[in-house]
Amino acid sequence: MIASQAKRISSFCISNGVIDERDREKFDYCYEVFLSTLLNFAAVLLIGLATGSLWHTVVFMLVFAVLKSTAGGYHADSHIVCFAETVGTFLLYRFIAFAVPAGIVPVISGSFAVFSVITVFLLAPVGTENKPLGRRQSGQLKRDSRLIALTLCLVTLSLLFLPVSPQWPFSVSFAASAVSFSLILGKVKLTGFRPDPDKS
């Protein structure tokens, strides 16, 4: 469904002279990724709105999107699987936020923040089979992802000492740790976790 809608958008743009027919395949892919991402974000935001945690959800999605854009990680083989994984990850985040006693949340947040930094430093960036990373691009993404992960860790730890709801640092740290788990899964899928000489 998403692929067919993406092709319709491309056809509309071609017929109106916005893009060239020779670039159709490239734009089909771009629109398909855009629609898939839009659907995932919309579903998560609706769940966040329904559970009364809209702004925590916004923070979660922003942190996840920013870190994953530089660190990379696991990519599903279909849009349906991607949608299920995105929504499932968010539901797990909200379940823990509701189920875990408030006194334990700061400990979990701090642990997640440290875990995400360690994982990003060890593994990021992780590309895909269809989109391998060149040495120069990998080096730039490695620096960017490390800087972002460190910043998010410091933000989480700072929020733990401020008079704010523990849900704020938890939202930041859980999103960062979700990317970290994605890095691990992506590395396993891509290389079987064999040592990569470029990461030394």
Same domain, 19 and 70: no
125 upstream amide cis, omega within 30 of 0: yes
106 & 130 share domain: yes
Could you tell me the pLDDT band of residue 193, with boundaries at 50, 70 and 90?
very low
Same domain, 113 and 35: no
Structural domain of 19? 1-50
pLDDT of residue 198: 52
CA 130, chain centre distance (Å): 18
Distances (CA, A) of 102 to 61, 155, 177: 22, 19, 19
Top mean-pLDDT range of 124-128, 131-135, 173-177: 173-177
86 and 177 part of one domain: yes
Residues 57 and 95 in one domain: yes
- Same domain? For 60 and 134 the reply is yes
Read off the pTM. 0.86
Judge if 29 and 90 occupy the same domain.
no
Domain end residue (candidates: 31, 50, 69): 50
**What total of structural domains would you count in the chain?**
2
Task: Report pLDDT digits (tens) over 73-132.
Answer: 998 888 899 999 999 999 999 999 999 998 999 999 999 999 999 999 999 999 877 777
Q: What is the pLDDT of residues 144-170, one digit of tens each?
A: 999 999 999 999 999 999 999 999 999
Residue 77 buriedness (CB in 10 A; 0-12 / 13-18 / 19+): exposed
Q: How far apart are the first and last CA of the chain?
A: 42
| Distance, CA of 30 to CA of 32 (rounded, Å) | 5
Query: Average pLDDT for residues 168-196, to the nearest whole number?
Result: 87
DSSP helix, strand, coil percent of the chain (3-state; round to 5): 80, 0, 20
